[in-house]
A and B are shown apart, each in its own frame.
Chain A
Amino acid sequence: MIADATVAPGHDGQAVLVVRLRHENGAFDTVTLDADQARALLEECAASSAADLRGQPWRRLLRVLEQPTDRED
């Protein structure tokens, strides 16, 4: 599930959302979302802020990640 989510700067100067996942075995992993993905995740989770994402199931994040994005180097 989603442990927390924080805003960080991306390589291109745009803000990104770093989502930290806690796995069932207790391990943590991070996934970085761009603005469109973050917006989609909020909608997927019916959340209005990053704080509301805590405790949401990881499958909702997976659905967002399956959509195209416009990451830039």
Chain B
Amino acid sequence: MFDIVIRNGRIADGSGLPAFDGDLGISRGRLVRVGGKLTAKARHQIDARGRVVAPGFIDPHTHFDAQLLWDGQARPALEHGVTTVVHGNCSLSLAPLKVEHRPKLVRMFQQIEEMPDAAFDGAFEWSWESFADYVAALRGRVALNVAPLAGHSPLRMWVMGPDAQKRAAKPDEIRAMQDLLRACLEAGAVGLSTSYVDMDENLAPVPSRYAHVDELDALAAVLGEYGRMLQVVPEFYNTDLSVARVDQLAELSLAHGIPTTFSPLFDSAAIPDNVPRVLERVAEQFARGARVWPQVQTRPIDISFSLDVASLYWIGLPMWYLILRLPREQKLAQLRHPGTRKALIDAVAASPDPRRLDSLRVRDSRDTSLIGRSLGELARERGATPADVLIDLSLAEDLGVHFLAARLGHEDPSRIGPILANDLVHVGASDGGAHIQSFATYGDTGYLFSEFVRQGHHLSLEHAVRKITGDTAQIWGMSERGLLREGMAADVVIFDAEAIARGDELPARDMPEGGMRYVRSATGVDCTIVNGEIAWTAAGGYTDARPGVVVNARA
């Protein structure tokens, strides 16, 4: 008898080979039969007729570190078919971490990943200092698999204390960091993350940025002992520096036999040669035998803002930009002043793009009926201009209304599709669980299918599945996952190939203490199974199962 049999599905097994019709048998957390007709009984039977049966999706770039401790289901990742998440990216992890360093690290998380106080303060019990104890705190709590990275910044803080943000490490300190990293890897860390970009809450570089090349080389040597990943945030805003980092990672990869990955890498009409130049160098380094995986996200990038802050969105309208840079009370007075208001509206009308405000949408407002509506629509209803509406809505809520200028970057499918299809591109960089009060970091997997499989035909269904399952598992060395093969872990997602997509971005107040974040629900996903247990279904929602494990990885 099977625990679960999934019958009549179209099996896309994660290899990229053509999908085929058949059944899937699961017992004791493993796939025991893949394909053919299964007649044996099962505790659960799922009819997947007309649906795709695929390996659970793997998200290689998240910041669910804290959320997993108060929401072991990492909502809404499971709803999107994600069964494994890599967290601890960008030099930041919650372990190893001495008690006295907790406040400092929390402030860094809050600054860099835009996480609210409530995500840390009282939302969970800090029961660890070591990586092993952190991993123990996750066990039995998580509904999806976790693949934690050890962060370079807390590693430095542990060994160097306050000097971690002042200077390069001495030889004995480097040796101590090597020993500490070794302990993390022994405890289940899938690699090390570091950053060349991020700043702390005081605008000081994070600890990892004070490391000299010999320190990173020594740590990469330890990764080489275990065949584990080095994740890096390069200077993604500068193409030349990004190319230089590709070269640096290639040398570390070759010297120590490790895989490396960097993120983010994204396309922009303002810098059209950025991705092509970086990928050209990546290809050169792969040809040398290095492993340097660029992570590219699927979703377009939006700009969000409120009038409370002078966003650069307004730099093309000098009068707006000038007014919005005023101190708050002066700004409010100017926006209320009839003469200033008329001048602002006239400035939009006289600009080279007088309809630029029409497509702005309300992202968040106390008046929920406004959310998602465009200023153009609202202006027509009110017999006003979009600029009038923008000002009125903002003043009505003390500048607290947020607006969205959608799809302003990484938005051209004819450019993004071929990038995602490139065999040297690692589909990822979702940032799940981060920037939660700015935009939703969920649903990139659904968007891959809706935009680049169904709409643009840049990838076949099987290719898209492979990019976020089999390829990801291979890149990270998750040898038991990413494929539907007998003996593999039973991480499975069942979805409708004609419907899978990301839902609308909506504000939700489901953080600890009622805090707000943006989320997206899933469309077209029927069921998510983790290690042979049903974790979520579209019909029944989340189950009580907590089948997630800390994954084994050796690349």
Q: Which residues of A contact B (CB under 8 A)?
A: 6-18, 29-32, 35, 38-39, 42, 48-51, 68-73
Contact = CB atoms under 8 A, between A and B. Distances in A.
Nearest to A15: B312
B113 A72 contact: yes
Given A8-B268, A73-B233, A48 B318 contact: yes
Contact of A7 (B240, B309, B315, B438): B315
Contacts of A13: 301-304, 435, 438-439
A31 B114 CA distance: 24
A61 to B, nearest CB: 13
Contacts of A18: 268, 270-271
A63 B301 CA distance: 29
Contacts of B322: 48
Interface stretch (B13-21, B191-199, B453-461): B191-199
Interface in B232-266: 233, 236-240, 264, 266
Majority-rule SS of B interface residues: loop
A35 B266 contact: no
Given A6-B270, A8-B271, A35 B197 contact: no
5 contacts: A35-B311, A50-B316, A68-B204, A70-B203, A73-B195
Contacts of B301: 9-11, 13
Contacts of B271: 8, 18, 30, 32
Given A9-B303, A69-B203, A17 B90 contact: no
B302 A9 contact: yes
A73 B318 contact: no
Contact of B409 (A8, A72, A73): A8
Contacts, number: 113
A12 B316 contact: no
B270 A68 contact: no
B474 interface: no
A65 to B, nearest CB: 10
Contacts of B233: 73
A9 B269 CA distance: 10
Given A49-B321, A68-B203, A70-B199, A11 B315 contact: no
Nearest to A4: B270
Given A9-B408, A11-B266, 7 more contacts: A9-B303, A9-B410, A18-B271, A29-B240, A49-B321, A71-B199, A73-B197
Nearest to B297: A11
Contacts of B340: none
Interface string B300-338: 011111000111110111100110010000000000000
Contacts of A11: 236, 264, 266, 301
A73 B194 CA distance: 11
A26 B217 CA distance: 38
